[in-house]
Amino acid sequence: MKNFLHGFIAAIVILPVGALGYFCMGFADAQSDVAPSVLESRMMGAAVHAAVARSATKLVAPIADDDVLVKGGKVYVEGCQGCHGELGKPFGEDHSHYPRVPQFPYTGTQYTEPQIYWVVKHGIRMTAMSAYGRFYSEEQLWSIAAFLHRIRTLPPGVAERILTKSAHAGASH
């Protein structure tokens, strides 16, 4: 029993120290143009998703009607689609860098509205997702969240309203 206990304690100490040494000595790949390992992708994906879910637990999304979705869609078209995919256009993003940027019109999102709101407001560290809370109003943040949550299942006519209004707004500049 004593040997088991010593082995257990040694494993608890040696594994974290070894992992820390691996990273601190520069053995982990850091370049963004090489795909991360499956283990790294799963661990970091799970860690980010869990952190976002925990941070957004007390947020409650307001009810969103078609007009709110159109407002959120307009903000998306004007500020987000350059990285996250163009609404109404075929998929064409280059995915040679990591972490990959989610292409919402084609893949949707696994996040809830409160989680999307939180991500847009606060960003995700160590990715290209910046914090936009200081640039958008609360109403805009919630409208983006509502839009992105439903981007693959928008009600009839909403996408057309977004693209029509955006095209007219772009023509006046």
For 117, residues 6+ apart whose C-beta sits below 8 A from its C-beta are 56, 59, 61, 141, 142, 144, 145
pLDDT computed for residue 76 by the predictor: 97
Does residue 123 sit within a domain? yes
How many domains in the chain? Answer: 1
Does residue 81 sit within a domain? yes
Per-residue pLDDT tens for 7-31?
Answer: 888 888 888 888 888 888 988 877 7
Range of the domain at 117: 59-173
Does residue 64 sit within a domain? yes
Per-residue pLDDT tens for 31-80?
Answer: 777 788 888 888 888 999 999 999 999 999 999 999 999 999 999 999 99
Per-residue pLDDT tens for 88-143?
Answer: 887 765 666 677 889 999 999 999 999 999 999 999 988 889 999 999 999 999 99
Q: What is the mean pLDDT of residues 160-167?
A: 78
Does residue 47 sit within a domain? no
- SS3 call for 118: helix
Q: What is the CATH number of the domain that holds 90?
A: 1.10.760.10
**Helices 138-149/113-122 angle, 10° precision:** 130
Token duo for residue 150: 């439903």
Q: pTM value?
A: 0.80
Using the Cα atoms of residue 148, residue 152, residue 157 and residue 163 in order, give the sign of their dihedral: positive
CA distance 124 to 147: 19
Does residue 49 sit within a domain? no
